[in-house]
Structure 1
Amino acid sequence: MNDDLSGKTVECGACDHRFLVKEELIFVERPKVYPGEKIKRDDDFLSRLGRDQPASESNRKEQSLGVGGQPRVDAIMPAGAGQNIAVGAGISFLFLYAFIFSVGTSDGGIFQDMAREARYALGGFVCLVAGGLMLFGAKNWRGRAFLLLLTFGGALFALILVRPVHLTPEAVQVVTPKVGLDEPEADPIAEIKEKSGYKVIERNLKNLEDDFGGLASQHLVGIFIEGLTSSQFHSIEKYFKIELKIPPTNAISRYLRNNRGKDSLIVVSGFPIDFDKVVQICDPRLGRATTYPDLRLIHLELSALHDSKVTDDLREKLSNPQHPSYFNENLNELRALDPLRRKDAVSELAEISPNVELRYSDEIIAEFIRLIRNETDDQLLSDLGRALLIWAQDNPVAVDVVSEKVEQLIKLDSNVPVSFIDFLVKANAEKAPLFIDTLWSIKPEVWTSQYIA
């Protein structure tokens, strides 16, 4: 409004109200100022409202805003879920490894035999991985995260330092010296002499020289057996008496050796002994034999068969002809030292069904022949004759052995098994009619049926 209207009545264009213009109602129109508009420095009114900022301060603000004048948003935004997970994973990884290391460094743990240098290297790798995760996740507090990493890492390395290193004891390796020109090999003769206590044999040979002179060595044989029990010795003693036909006036001597008396030296002496025959009797029936003919000594490793027990499973194999091991197990029983087990095997093989295919025939017949030559039990000889009727009808060796046995029994006026005569008749043995005639003349009531046939 101009000053010319002062003291005059005017009408308002908005409300049609009339009023008197006075001097105190007149206001001077000021220029409007909008945001971002530069302020005139000579404007006294606006100068009173606020002081101008220095140019240096204004420049600093513009520089702080960066290019374009816009602030960095990610610098003021909070950390994301992935970053928080990274921090948690890094810390958890450190604690988990520390726990595993504490448990694994005990005796027999997973860190057994691991050197301390290798432990430090592994710990450094763990700290590197965990630190990377922590620093990645700690966006707004990386300094504190670094200090935290140093603390945890130092604790981990201190744990590595104090935990012991357990080493597995290594077997002591015995270094065998190389045999040189001045180092002769160990003498096996000297070893077996020391092991068996050969002085006993030397003493016996010296005593035999009084009776047999220079032939004393042919009247003695020593058998050294390791791990021989008393029951096994008695069985072997009976076996030797039968096989070697030891005279009643001679005895088998047993000398306990080292190994708490479990090793034994058996000495057979006093009559002419064929060394090779003794070897054949021992090997393979009793086990594996190592011979020293010049020493008249046999080192016998006794077979495990002679220490076995008859179990339910073994009985099933021995009594069931359909079992794959039936013939093999019964053959082993025929070779057993226990006479009762031999008798049971002969009885079993003498009653086998005709429709069963026979196996191991040669070996089993050989055992039958050996038993016929050496045994005197009436029932066993009768079972052997019945077994030969099944197994050896066309075996000339069996026919000759049975014929010799019958002649021997007749001379000794002993009982002749009927099964022997039946076997000889069925095999068309040459001496069968003569045997029947002789036996009928002695006991006609027993042999009439064979004589008529």
Structure 2
Amino acid sequence: MSLRIQCPACQRQFTVNEDLRGRTVECGSCEKQFVVDEESIVNERDRYFPGDIKKPGLAHYGVAPAPSESANQVDFATAMYSQTASAADVIPPAPGRTIAGVAGMGVLLLYLIVVVFGWMGQGFFGEMETPKRILLSGFVVAIGLLLIFSGGARRQKQTILGGIAVAVAALGLSVFMPAGDPIVRTTASFRLGPVEKSGEDPASGRMSEGEARIAMTYAPIERAIDVYGLESVWALWAPKMGQHFRYQIQRYLQRKTGAPARPAFYPREQGGLVVIEGVSIKMPELISLVERFANVEEVYEDLRVVKIEVKGENLVEPSSELEAKLNNRASESFIVLNRKELEHIDIDRVKDAAQRLSTVEPTRFRSEIAARFVELLDEDSDTDFRSTICKAIMVWSSPGDGAEKAVVLLVSDLLASEESVSKSMIEFLVDRRSAGLVPLLKQLWIQAPLNWEGEVIAMGSEMESVIVPSIDSSNRACQRSALLILRRVGTEASLPLLQRSLESSDRDSDVVLLLERAIEAIESRRGEPAEAPEPEVQSLVPPETVPVPGTEPLEADGEEEQREPESIPPNN
């Protein structure tokens, strides 16, 4: 029979044999020695009552009060449980949803900042037309809200409500923003702070120099004058101007004034200040350039400042309807509209107009458009641009209108400055057989024989005298090209030099074959008569023949058929 004993030290219970009753044992847990007696033996029974089990560890639980004793009543809060709980309320959101929500809120906040700056008259957004602005705002708001909702419509309610508030604010600013002119904002534009008094004299309407210095913030002009000198600096002050027009104006001013660097631009409220540095242009020339895109309001010559009002209709991009008319060659207004495009300050639009005009037959304004093309040769130094202009000149220019002289001078300047010359310029001069072309073409041919060989051949025997000396040239490219050209256009004048070169050449050289072919081609053309021009109107009555003295005229046989005169074979 076994007994259930309990260590009085660690309260650990063990089952031992009844033979150990009254004997001393050692606890296997805490090594406490105790006697197996009634105190250590655990009585086992079916039920226990409070107080039956005596354990030191149960003392801190206390004793329940008796029913007769009074106790303070305690009110416990009742827990409320949701009947529609789902896994989305417990499981954390995926990283992709979190990123989508943050991105959506960021898009809306960034767009709201852009709209606010547009409301204050800064940036391109304030100059956009109202329907386009509302359409853009609706698209951005829809994208932002879509990202926010995809980030978790149930868990991030505060974020969704914040996104909706930002979206409503952006849409509201877009709708109620003053429309105004896209070039000049209206006076209803939003401004911070009190309204300053105008510096203009009510009687004359002119702002004094001192007031103008303050209004335009004259410091950038003073810095430029300190560096380049007073006579080398000009500034254009536009109190109201679309910011996106400044790039066209800067490029145009640099191109026309010859400034070493692009003019600097300084924003000034609704307009800006353009400072041109390092130029020697005079005031009348500058005003004539500015009148292409603006109206001159005031000239402060002592300050080196010209106050202007930008004409936005000359700078805005063409509409889709205008683009269609500019490209419709069958339209009656095709030539008129493209002629107007030639006056634009944007060099790319001028180039496109010249390219379109070079594809049609000149029927209207031929002399005016040809003169404008000649002026445009000096508009830009880009080779591709000049090539396009020369192709248009070939179509619109007439002999004697001065276009040949202008192109010859331009080619001379380009060669003197060692700049590239477009083929269309030389093709135009070759087509017109312009005076002064031979030395220019010779210089180009010596620099690159293979590139200009076709143009030299097109000039014919006029180039023979300048090509012949290259037969004995040490430049093998020039020598070969000269022999090929003489084979096509050489005359008897070149034969002696070709034969002497053949006798002195090494028989194993490949140049000998070129010399022999050139001599053979010239000799084959020696006996051929020159090509006779065809008469404009052929006479129906055969000319009378004058009899030779001492001979009798022969009578023609009536039955012999009258032969037509043989045509002269063309010159090969």
TM-score (norm 2): 0.41
Q: Find the aligned partners of 2:238 and 2:245 in 1 and give their Cα distance.
A: 11
Partner of 2:295: 288
Q: Secondary structure at the match of 2:352?
A: helix
CA offsets, 1:183-228, max 9 Å, x none? Answer: x96244426864675664477358736864xxx2x22222122432
Cα 1:240–1:430, aligned 2, differ >3 Å: closer, same or farther?
Answer: same
Cα 1:303–1:199, aligned 2, differ >3 Å: closer, same or farther?
Answer: closer
Q: Establish whether residue 244 from structure 1 lines up as the match of residue 254 from structure 2.
A: no
Partner of 1:95: none
Output aligned runs, 1:122-133, within 5 Å: none
Partner of 2:203: 186
Q: Find the aligned partners of 1:239 and 1:339 in 2 and give their Cα distance.
A: 8
Q: Secondary structure at the match of 2:306?
A: strand
Q: Find the aligned partners of 1:204 and 1:287 in 2 and give their Cα distance.
A: 21
RMSD across aligned positions (CA): 2.9
Q: Establish whether residue 376 from structure 1 lines up as the match of residue 389 from structure 2.
A: no
Cα 1:298–1:361, aligned 2, differ >3 Å: closer, same or farther?
Answer: farther
Contact 2:216 2:273 in 1 (8 A): no
Greater relative contact order: 1 or 2 (C-alpha under 8 angstroms, separation 6 or more)? 1
Q: Find the aligned partners of 2:209 and 2:271 in 1 and give their Cα distance.
A: 13
Q: Find the aligned partners of 1:293 and 1:360 in 2 and give their Cα distance.
A: 41
CA offsets, 1:390-436, max 9 Å, x none? Answer: 22233654333322321232234333112111222344432211211
Percent of pairs identical after alignment? 21
Amino acid at match of 2:452: W
**1:350, CA displacement in angstroms?**
1.4
Amino acid at match of 1:345: A
260, 267, 290: which is aligned to 1:256? 267
Output aligned runs, 1:173-252, within 5 Å: 186-190=203-207, 194=211, 197=214, 200-201=217-218, 204-205=221-222, 208=225, 212=229, 216=230, 218-248=231-261, 251-252=262-263
**1:368, CA displacement in angstroms?**
2.2
Partner of 1:388: 393
Output aligned runs, 1:7-18, within 5 Å: none
Amino acid at match of 1:313: E
Cα 1:192–1:225, aligned 2, differ >3 Å: closer, same or farther?
Answer: farther
262-271 or 438-447: which moved more? 262-271
Cα 1:201–1:397, aligned 2, differ >3 Å: closer, same or farther?
Answer: farther
Contact 1:373 1:401 in 2 (8 A): no
**1:313, CA displacement in angstroms?**
1.7
CA offsets, 1:251-273, max 9 Å, x none? Answer: 5222322xxx2211212134433
Cα 1:428–1:306, aligned 2, differ >3 Å: closer, same or farther?
Answer: same
273, 295, 298: which is aligned to 2:281? 273
Partner of 1:443: 448
Q: Find the aligned partners of 2:294 and 2:374 in 1 and give their Cα distance.
A: 20
Contact 2:234 2:305 in 1 (8 A): yes
Output aligned runs, 1:88-107, within 5 Å: none
Cα 1:196–1:325, aligned 2, differ >3 Å: closer, same or farther?
Answer: farther
Q: Find the aligned partners of 1:235 and 1:407 in 2 and give their Cα distance.
A: 30
Partner of 2:355: 347
**1:384, CA displacement in angstroms?**
0.7
CA offsets, 1:376-397, max 9 Å, x none? Answer: 3222211111111122233654
Unaligned runs of 5+ in 2: 1-200, 459-572
Contact 1:393 1:423 in 2 (8 A): no
CA offsets, 1:66-112, max 9 Å, x none? Answer: xxxxxxxxxxxxxxxxxxxxxxxxxxxxxxxxxxxxxxxxxxxxxxx
Contact 2:238 2:308 in 1 (8 A): yes
Unaligned runs of 5+ in 1: 1-183
Q: Establish whether residue 357 from structure 1 lines up as the match of residue 329 from structure 2.
A: no
**1:298, CA displacement in angstroms?**
2.2
Q: Secondary structure at the match of 1:351?
A: coil
Cα 1:242–1:351, aligned 2, differ >3 Å: closer, same or farther?
Answer: same
Partner of 1:411: 416
Bigger Cα Rg: 1
Q: Find the aligned partners of 1:198 and 1:404 in 2 and give their Cα distance.
A: 46
Contact 1:224 1:265 in 2 (8 A): yes
Partner of 2:124: none
Structure ranking higher in helix proportion? 1
TM-score (norm 1): 0.50
Q: Secondary structure at the match of 1:268?
A: strand
342, 358, 361: which is aligned to 1:334? 342
Contact 1:226 1:302 in 2 (8 A): no
Cα 1:311–1:244, aligned 2, differ >3 Å: closer, same or farther?
Answer: same
